[in-house]
Amino acid sequence: MKKSLQCIRAGLAVALLSGTGGAALAQSQSLTVISFGGATKAAQEVAYFKPFEQSGAAKVVAGEYNGELSRIKAMVDVGQVSWDVVEVESPELLRGCEEGLFEPVNASVLGEAGQYLPGTISECGVASYVWSMVLAYNAKRLDTAPASWADFWNVEKFPGKRGLRKGAKYTLEAALLADGVPREELYKVLATPDGVARAFAKLDEIKPHIQWWEAGAQPPQWLVAGDVVMSAAYNGRVAVAQREGASLAIVWDGNLFDPDHWAIVRGSRNKELAERFIAFASQAEPQQAFSRQIPYGPVNRAALDALPDETRQQLPTAPENLAQAQLVDAGFWVDHGEELEQRFNAWAAR
């Protein structure tokens, strides 16, 4: 009898470590994934978080933040890391990697590197999707459609408020594009004192007409309400509003595109599980699901190829949209971001 009980217990232990028992055991683990919230997080829930849970890997505890490295640095410095995977923009990924805030990427868990777009796997991060900062407008509220950032600055032809992100990044680029700087020379010009002065002088021209936004949800809301006639906006936020029936349109000429990345916080107690999550979220099927929810471009080539034409046309990575785009120079913003943000804040406060 005693031997039989021992056999039963051994059998239960095996069951817990394999099959459905393994899934139940995995679900006792949790992985904290922090992203930027809003419509993007809602798409991540559908495409990544819930399917990862349903695979039996672990429970995903999803949170959100504004992308500030200071919170991550505070955790790492005191050795009390409560976040595992974080979504970061390109400059923050480079800066955080240099400062030792992120774990090195184990590229072997991602499979064949050739299946991903070039430059999407780096020392400390794996690109999750590609987004663009675009010029958006409400087609019902304008008799003539704007065609460029120069039109954004034309307050006589297009009177009314216009929305810009409250920060130097993207805003200074838009100003120089409006002033006639070619896309391929944008960061060469902005790296000079004269180029910076030129960008702020251009912003001076429309400063009384600017309505500053700080959250990605604001531009579509303002456009629908008529608070602004046009706005810089994240392409995915505009597309979500379009799906909900809003008469918003995008000008792709001069769009500024950039990937967001997954990174693992250094000192995470769930490093291997975090790698499994990133590998899962990088595969074609979950990435297709994400781009169907919100039109940000997948980095997995197979996912892009499998999407319907209607969806591909809304993506920053569609060939016709990419041909009119400029990649945001992450290295430039790592080198110059702090000083330019300080100068921008002083200028905006005047």
pLDDT tens digit string along 69-91? Answer: 999 999 999 999 999 999 999 99
Yes or no: say if 290 and 129 are a contact pair by the CB < 8 Å rule: yes
| Interval 231-238 mean pLDDT | 95
- So what's the pLDDT on residue 19? 40
- The reply to whether domains 2-129+259-317 and 131-258+320-349 share a CATH topology is yes
Alpha carbon of 301 to those of 109, 115, 166: distances in Å?
Answer: 17, 6, 34
Residue 238 pLDDT greater than 60, yes or no? yes
pLDDT for the residue numbered 38: 87
Residue ranges per structural domain of the chain: 2-129+259-317, 131-258+320-349
Q: Is the pTM of this model over 0.85?
A: no
CA distances from 45 to 39, 154, 217, 281, 293 (A): 10, 40, 18, 11, 10
pLDDT value, residue 177: 98
Q: Which helix (H) or strand (E) holds 230?
A: strand 230-234
Tokens at 256, concatenated: 């500024």
Question: Quick one: pLDDT band at residue 264, thresholds 50, 70, 90?
Answer: very high
> Could you say which architecture CATH assigns to the domain 2-129+259-317?
3-Layer(aba) Sandwich (3.40)
Say which residue the tokens 């590197």 belong to.
113
What confidence score (pLDDT) does residue 116 get? 92
Q: In angstroms, rounded to a whole number, what is the distance separating the alpha carbons of residues 165 and 160?
A: 17
Confidence bin at 15 (pLDDT 50/70/90): very low
Statement: residue 17 has pLDDT above 60: no
Mean pLDDT on 177-182: 98
Q: What is the mean pLDDT of residues 262-284?
A: 97
Q: How far apart are CA 86 and CA 256, in angstroms?
A: 23
| Look-up of token digits 């251009």 | 202
Mean pLDDT, range 98-103, rounded to an integer = 97
The answer to whether 171 and 203 are in contact (CB under 8 A) is: yes
pLDDT-based confidence at 304, cuts 50/70/90? confident
> pLDDT tier at 28 (50, 70, 90 boundaries)?
low
**Is the predicted pLDDT of residue 24 greater than 60, yes or no?**
no
State the pairing for strand pair 210-213/162-165.
Answer: parallel
String of b and e for 261-275 (b: at least 16 CB within 10 Å)? Answer: bbbbbbbbebbebbb
pLDDT band at 219 (very low <50, low <70, confident <90, very high): very high
Among the listed ranges 18-22, 225-229, 255-259, 263-267, which one has the minimum average pLDDT value? Answer: 18-22
DSSP 103: P
Q: Write down the pLDDT at residue 118.
A: 87
Q: Is the pLDDT of residue 20 over 80?
A: no
- Mean residue pLDDT of the chain comes to 91
Beta-bridge mates of residue 213: 165
First to last CA, the chain: 85
Q: How far apart are CA 126 and CA 109, in angstroms?
A: 11
Mean pLDDT computed over 167-193: 97
Task: Look at residue 261 and tell me whether its pLDDT is greater than 80.
Answer: yes
Q: Tell me the average pLDDT across 162-175.
A: 97
Please say whether the structural domain 131-258+320-349 has been given the CATH code 3.40.50.2300: no
Q: Which residue, 107, 115, 119, 38, is CA-closest to 327?
A: 119
Query: Does residue 195 surpass a pLDDT of 90?
Result: yes
| E-only strand ranges, 90-155 | 126-138
What percentage of the chain reaches a pLDDT higher than 90?
Answer: 81
